[in-house]
Amino acid sequence: MPEKFLQPYDPAATESRLYAEWEASGLFNPDECVRQGVTPAEAPTYSVTLPPPNVNGVLHVGHAYEDSLQDAVVRYHRMKGERTVWVPGTDSAAIATQSRVEKNIQKEEGKSRHDLGREELVRRVAAFAKESEGTILAQVRRMGASLDWSRYAYTLDEERVQAVAEAFKRMYDSGLIYRGHRIVNWDPKGQTTISDDEIVYQEEKAVFYYLKYGPFTIGTARPETKFGDKYVVMHPADMRYAEWKDGQTIELEWINGPITATIVKDESIDMEFGTGVMTITPWHSMVDFDIAERHELDKEQIINEYGKLLPIAGEFEGMKITEAREKIVEKLRAKGLVVKEEPYVHNIATAERTGGIIEPQIKLQWFVDVTKPFVIAHSEIPGIESGSSLTLKELMLAAVKHGGVTMPQEGFKKAYFHWIENLRDWCISRQIWFGHRIPVWYKDEEIFIGTEAPTGDGWAQDPDVLDTWFSSALWTFSTLGWPRQTNDLATFHPTSFMSPAYEILNLWVSRMILMSGFHLGQVPFKTVMIHGLVRDKQGRKFSKSLNNGIDPLDMINKYGADALRMGLLVGTAIGNDVSFDESRVKGYKHFANKLWNIARFILENTANTPEINIGRTTSNMTEGDEAILAACDALTKDVTLDMEEFRMYMAAEKIYHYAWHELADKILEESKPILAGTDEIAKQSRASLLLLLLTRTLKLLHPFMPFVTEEIYQSMPTKDANYLMVAKWPV
């Protein structure tokens, strides 16, 4: 028995060494597994893409949980003998990273991005991203994640930049990307558009005003936008206003004097709300914009990009809307136009990253059209025929509906469908500087779209960058070399499994399905297992602003990576949130040591076993031994089924229970008299049995606690591979 077993198990001394060995062995790479003969060349493939962490800080235990889940799945499939690849990567996360660096610069140097200029800011953000990347990759390695580092990708590296430009061009050429004046969510603080999904709603107590608008009374919570309102809208079936006809004009006294207003009848009006009459502000409201489009009405801008009133506001020009509101109401009161005021609670839209209050604006932006039909030349997606015509929306629905992508959790599937059904065109341009620059150049009236800048003078590239999710959406195949027709792409795509948190189901999962469907005619992954969030003790999400993140490295240093992995996995039903509980991690550190001692006992007592004689062919096997073996086989079967059905938390708990309360508590105890006895045949038989049981336990446990199991396995006389990592999963 090696001397190391005389000491308690020491994760710190073991884990980094083992990870380095694994990495050096090349066995994280399926090609290398084939080359070394541990995986058959014709074995089925299993591929997983790591959801790339954002390079804007450090990982917290939520990431550690995600890594533990995936690594368990990946290690299981690798041991099953499949050509298994887990592709690592990181995400530049355009807006998140830039805004973080901007904040730092503002705080430390008192400078804004405009003080620095585009080039300098991008340089600084990239430097920050690089540093962050180093930290993150070190953290991921310490977790024991068996990622194939030879396939590492970054969303903003050269290959991915090419892929993004190519994707943009192909979609533009198919008419699915267009540029147009549309109403978008404008963040006055961040000075950029953001998508619907980057909005956080906050409840606000406000006042709801009823204002006299000629013969009508209109309701509004935003009097400061009302300057330009010259259309008054009501439902065509509202009998209270039957005397007014669509298109009829009326003269009335308004905030800054007399105006001419036009009656509009539109069915979108809720007769029950307020007075059933409203005026519209198409430039600053999605709903109003839609009404204006339907009736071809004029649209006027009231508020500028900095949240200040424009000249149309007359005496209020240049005021911030928040301070203008009171003054405008005062004036309205003085003119006798305020009929009634009542308290009112509503949600205001704020930008997730900057906290700025969203002001809808009409802007010239780039969009992905989700409702325009296109012909899909080639499709392997169930429910979609090659050569058929469909929209991106239909594609996203069909891929899940017909089982191309399986989403085992019905609840999330429902949420997915609901989101897609309400989907609007995806605004993909962002007025920031860090990220994928839009691959479009302008010269007078000419426009050029390409992966390289056009030749000739006078071309200017679009200043905007793409929404970060545009590049993330290509991730499952851009990491495999697309648009080149690589071996990897042919071998590993569609990928097998993806496990993101539910908060990015819409942001990311749906868009991967969109992009993969359009560009490859494939689904991006066959199974998507949505997991929950790890929260802090108070049940809050980990966030940089709360600074409540827990660094996995602190936990690993204290208890070991195996313990952290078990502490996060066991007792966490997939899809549910959990509060991080350090005491659980502590408990599994004890378990690692328990396992160590089980190994010590068995190795000590089998050291003199002259011939390892394992298996059912042992002719001296007693009934008791048979029962023990049968129980172990039953466990193996059970655990294997759990793994196949992604119940990692169940599998892990079962092996834990078996190792401690069966193997150690019962089998080892009852073995003591046998091993101390004089019946040599019984002794040998028992010794063989114990070695078998320990080997089996190590294998079943390896996907969850890779380090301690590998370390013990290395000392086992029953090794059937150089590394437990590639040893054969028991059947």
Partner RNA sequence: GCGCGGUUAGCUCAGUUGGUAGAGCGCCUCGUUGACGUCGAGGAGGUCGUAGGUUCGAUCCCUACACCGCGCACCA
- Residues 108-147 binding RNA (CB under 7 A) are none
> Please, what is the minimum distance in Å from the beta carbon of residue 267 to RNA?
11
Structure tokens at 526: 């066959």
Q: Which residues pair with 251 in a beta bridge?
A: 260
Q: CB nearer to RNA: give 60 or 493.
A: 60
By CB atoms closer than 10 A (0-12, 13-18, 19+), residue 361 is buried
Q: Pick from 396, 479, 542, 371: which is nearest to 148 by CA?
A: 479
Q: Pick from 571, 604, 565: which is nearest to 704 by CA?
A: 565
The stretch near RNA (CB under 7 A) out of 166-174, 187-195, 311-319, 532-540 is 532-540
Which residue in the block uniquely carries the two structure tokens 């004689």?
613
- Which residues in 343-382 contact RNA (CB under 7 A)? 346-349
Q: CB nearer to RNA: give 63 or 284.
A: 284
> Please, what is the minimum distance in Å from the beta carbon of residue 513 to RNA?
17
Per rule CB under 7 A, is residue 278 in the interface with RNA? Answer: yes
Phi, psi of 711 (to 5 degrees): -65, -40
- Count of CB atoms within 10 A of residue 175's CB? 11
DSSP single-letter state for residue 204: E
Q: CB nearer to RNA: give 137 or 574.
A: 574
Q: CB nearer to RNA: give 378 or 637.
A: 637
> Please, what is the minimum distance in Å from the beta carbon of residue 576 to RNA?
4
Nearest 10 degrees: CA dihedral of 384, 386, 391, 395? 30
Per rule CB under 7 A, is residue 267 in the interface with RNA? Answer: no
- Which residues in 190-219 contact RNA (CB under 7 A)? 196-197, 201, 208, 218-219
The stretch near RNA (CB under 7 A) out of 19-27, 377-385, 520-528, 588-596 is 588-596
Q: Pick from 73, 40, 3, 33: which is nearest to 704 by CA?
A: 73
Per rule CB under 7 A, is residue 35 in the interface with RNA? Answer: no
DSSP single-letter state for residue 337: -
> Please, what is the minimum distance in Å from the beta carbon of residue 650 to RNA?
5
Per rule CB under 7 A, is residue 339 in the interface with RNA? Answer: no
Per rule CB under 7 A, is residue 586 in the interface with RNA? Answer: yes
- Which residues in 590-619 contact RNA (CB under 7 A)? 590, 592-594, 597-598, 600-601, 604
Q: Which of 178, 448, 459, 660 binds RNA (CB under 7 A)?
A: 660
Per rule CB under 7 A, is residue 1 in the interface with RNA? Answer: no
3-state SS class at 331? helix
- Which residues in 626-645 contact RNA (CB under 7 A)? 641-642
Q: CB nearer to RNA: give 25 or 593.
A: 593
What does R_g of the chain's alpha carbons equal in angstroms?
Answer: 32
What are the distances in angstroms from CA 632 to CA 214, 602, 658?
84, 17, 9
Q: Which of 587, 614, 662, 682 binds RNA (CB under 7 A)?
A: 587
> Please, what is the minimum distance in Å from the beta carbon of residue 478 to RNA?
26
The three-state (H, E, C) secondary structure of 515-534, written as one string: HHHHHHCCCCEEEECCECCE
The stretch near RNA (CB under 7 A) out of 324-332, 410-418, 518-526, 696-704 is 410-418
Q: Which residues contact 629 (CB under 8 A, 6 or more apart)?
A: 616, 621, 689, 692
Nearest 10 degrees: CA dihedral of 355, 356, 357, 359? -140
Q: CB nearer to RNA: give 85 or 693.
A: 693
Structure tokens at 33: 């597994």
Per rule CB under 7 A, is residue 422 in the interface with RNA? Answer: yes
Per rule CB under 7 A, is residue 43 in the interface with RNA? Answer: no
- Which residues in 471-510 contact RNA (CB under 7 A)? 506
Per rule CB under 7 A, is residue 274 in the interface with RNA? Answer: yes
The stretch near RNA (CB under 7 A) out of 187-195, 277-285, 316-324, 392-400 is 277-285
Q: CB nearer to RNA: give 135 or 593.
A: 593
CB 139 within 8 A of CB 58: yes
Structure tokens at 682: 């019984």
CB 191 within 8 A of CB 305: yes
Per rule CB under 7 A, is residue 589 in the interface with RNA? Answer: yes
Per rule CB under 7 A, is residue 572 in the interface with RNA? Answer: yes
